[in-house]
Structure 1
Amino acid sequence: MEERALIIFAKNPRLGKVKTRLAEGLGEILALEVYIELLRITDHIIRSLPVTKYIYWDGGIPENQNYFSEDCIHRKQVNGDLGLKMGEAFSEVLKEHSLVCIIGTDCPYLSSEILVNAYENLAGKADYVIGPALDGGYYLLGLKKVFTGLFQDMVWSTDKVYETTVKRGENLNLSSYILRELGDIDSLNDYKNWKGI
């Protein structure tokens, strides 16, 4: 059994269903193109990692699965809010692996080095590893045991998600390792900063 696994939460890339905040400034067609670019960047970042990779799709598994390398395992996200979806994915994958990280597909600044660092610290003393995002959320969460109290019943898409998660970890007496802060691509401003426009 491969010790390390990576869960990637992705959305089926369909017009009007992805990057809706970005679409307000760029339009739905360009927002979809940006999202597909982010899928391909995510694949490039994770491709060389010696871990089992699970793509959990929201909106169904796309017929065209060439966004990620062939060694990826494709699964469908359960219905519910993000916390419930994460809990189910972690529960499934932790049955087969002992160190599991979850990421999204909207952080082009992520690197394989950051992911390796996350796994190394998760293999050590940290109960969980977290990567804070500039917008107050997080781009990575790593666990070796399911602690649903970290992410269930969370008010998502606010600038307090990371802070609330860390406080919950403290209340559960969990040790943590904090990765470096990175930006993600949600808004037109995020996109302009990324592209240097």
Structure 2
Amino acid sequence: MPGETPQLHLLAKAPLPGQAKTRLAPLLGTEGAADAHAQLVRHCVANACKALPADHITLWTALDHTHPLFGELYERFGVTLAQQPGGNLGARIRHALNSSSGPAMVMGSDCPSITSDLIMACIQQLSTHDVVMLPAEDGGYGLIGTHGDYPGLFELIPWGSDRVLSATRQRIEALGLRASYPATVWDIDRPEDWQRWQAIKSSM
């Protein structure tokens, strides 16, 4: 219902060397890429907790559910921890959105351009739209929020490609859903993305 505070679900891998942010390894090395991933997860959770109370935030873990990073974030912020299920990204997003009643949003943990203010803007837009989404510069999206279960949003999407956003927007239109796209964001996958983020931090 309008005005109901949504649940926010964050998806995060454990920062295991060789399994997290591997495309940053040419710049940072395998260990450095894992450390960079841990930094991004911490930043993401901190931003989320500036926008919403911890009891409205769930951190969905993958690879190593008992990794010390997740315990650290639980102790520091009080967010709920849950294990990501199997399946492709669409199945995991849909599972998180449907894990609680009422409006919900899902975002990745490698998108520092999603600030707490932008999360608040998405919450506001979701109160008057069926779907809220933050398109990403690489053709994907950094956040999606819904009021109900729309399976078609996540089926037969070319996950991992630059067509994720366009395919999802086509589904939104086909389903007759009213959507809001408050801003375009960018995530960190490649060395130049990491350098962009470091430049922004150094200028703050």
Q: Which of 150, 161, 164 is equivalent to 2:164? A: 161
Aligned residues of 2:61 and 2:83 also touching (Cα < 8 A): yes
Aligned residues of 2:5 and 2:123 also touching (Cα < 8 A): no
Paired amino acid for 1:167: Q
Q: Deviations over 1:90-120 (max 9, x none)?
A: 1112x3xx12111111111111111111111
Match of 2:6 in 1: 4
Paired amino acid for 2:88: D
Match of 2:39 in 1: 37
Q: Which of 68, 81, 85 is equivalent to 2:88? A: 81
Distance in structure 2 (CA, Å) of the matches to 1:116 and 1:70: 18
Q: Which moved more, 1:130-139 or 1:49-58?
A: 49-58
Match of 2:52 in 1: 50
Shift of 1:21: 1.7
Q: Deviations over 1:140-197 (max 9, x none)?
A: 0011101121122211111111111111100111110002111110011211222239
Distance in structure 2 (CA, Å) of the matches to 1:33 and 1:154: 30
Match of 1:66 in 2: 72
Provide the aligned C-alpha RMSD in A: 1.7
Paired amino acid for 2:133: I
Report the identity percentage: 28
1:113 aligns with 2:117: yes
Shift of 1:50: 2.8
Paired amino acid for 1:139: G
Q: 1:130 to 1:22 in 2, by over 3 A?
A: same
Distance in structure 2 (CA, Å) of the matches to 1:23 and 1:82: 23
Distance in structure 2 (CA, Å) of the matches to 1:63 and 1:158: 29
Q: Which moved more, 1:53-62 or 1:180-189?
A: 53-62
Match of 2:178 in 1: 175
Match of 1:27 in 2: 29
Paired amino acid for 2:32: L
Q: Which of 132, 136, 148 is equivalent to 1:133? A: 136
Aligned residues of 2:49 and 2:77 also touching (Cα < 8 A): no
Aligned length: 192
TM-score, structure 2 normalization: 0.88
Aligned residues of 2:8 and 2:104 also touching (Cα < 8 A): yes
Q: Which runs of 5+ in 1 are unaligned?
A: none
Q: Which has the higher helix share?
A: 2
1:90 aligns with 2:93: no
Distance in structure 2 (CA, Å) of the matches to 1:185 and 1:50: 23
SS at match of 1:67: helix
